[in-house]
Structure 1
């Protein structure tokens, strides 16, 4: 039963049988069979399939998700106690970070986490805020650090710190901006509109270090976190309404089901909260 409930939880959270199968290291038909068996035992339909990929939970699934999370929490707690008697398990921990949060927060966070959790196998994946959230929903990462206030069902979003955006660079008519989907891109669009600026050329670049390098060469201007402005470059503050938050995001159920992840999440907040 617990195997079926774990498969159900992952299908519910990812809205995908194939993504759930990937997380469980089994085939998609195996997950489909487990869900059918669970539906047969409970005598309810849990998911509606629309087309080849779209999966929607039924009203019964929403009830089962809430209740089964409590059951799985107790079961995983029991498993951890039994495992602790015989062996020490390595904690696999993948953190997704937007480029701005990676450059500003991770140099402080990673050494502190390694000191607190020496048994953890740490991995970092960098992407824009929307992609970080997408990977979290697909269970490719356990925690995300973003600056765009995006969220999703059953995902917790916690504000960690404030970040002031500034304008930096030479007014050549060229504006260098992050790609669509990043938190900074939307703020750049807002600033250009508010200031009545029509760029002669707007160049989207999905690498923040490259943007800063080009600005230092005098190619143009950009909107960037004040924390990342090189000391050699003057900058123009954009005002209080261009102050944003850095956020920690994670699945609520993951924290409930895994005491080690809960401890990691708590430490991340302690380390990074202003």
Structure 2
């Protein structure tokens, strides 16, 4: 389930770049979230009034984090290569694993991840888009919070009830930045494309991740997510023609190794 979610995320992220010219990065993210919200509400039909306030509150918080993560990520891939953005965003799951480490060896992995980030961004050359890097790091923070919140909500609400609340909240939260970008370029073709992409991201991966996090500890889930940067390299190469430099590939490998190591030393 986790691997399927990763493949879906990266394919949709690459395909979404085709909408950037019409509705902008944030606009494309907002449209996908809107369609995804409609799907989950139609499927789950959540009885919001019957939920405990705490469960409803955590679902809304998850929605805010989901919206921020989605917009920050697409804005980053509009500025930097897909593989670089994904590797930087992966620092979020890595941080979750590091915070749950057991023993001192867990402290080695952040240093290894930092070396990987430096190899990816190559600050000594000044070639990386700083805004894109910062946006990806913001998405990383949100991804770490998303994992913890999704696990909490998934444990408390059955089926996809949590997503049927969090996705509408995410669409509302991102309308502030997404609607102004999207409105001038909305057309029937754009709406059909956004609806199709919404199935790939976020409907399919968010559902798979929710189900996976019900069965796996968050630290183990974070280890599985180590494959995401490698998946991004493959998708970026095939669909976008983005060929990373050798030192950047080395950086991606370092980030992946740091993630695996952090997961192995994390508490179950």
TM over 0.5: no
Structure with more of its chain in strand, by fraction: 1
TM-score, L = length of structure 2:
0.27
TM-score, L = length of structure 1:
0.26
Structure with more of its chain in helix, by fraction: 2
Q: Which has more radius of gyration?
A: 1
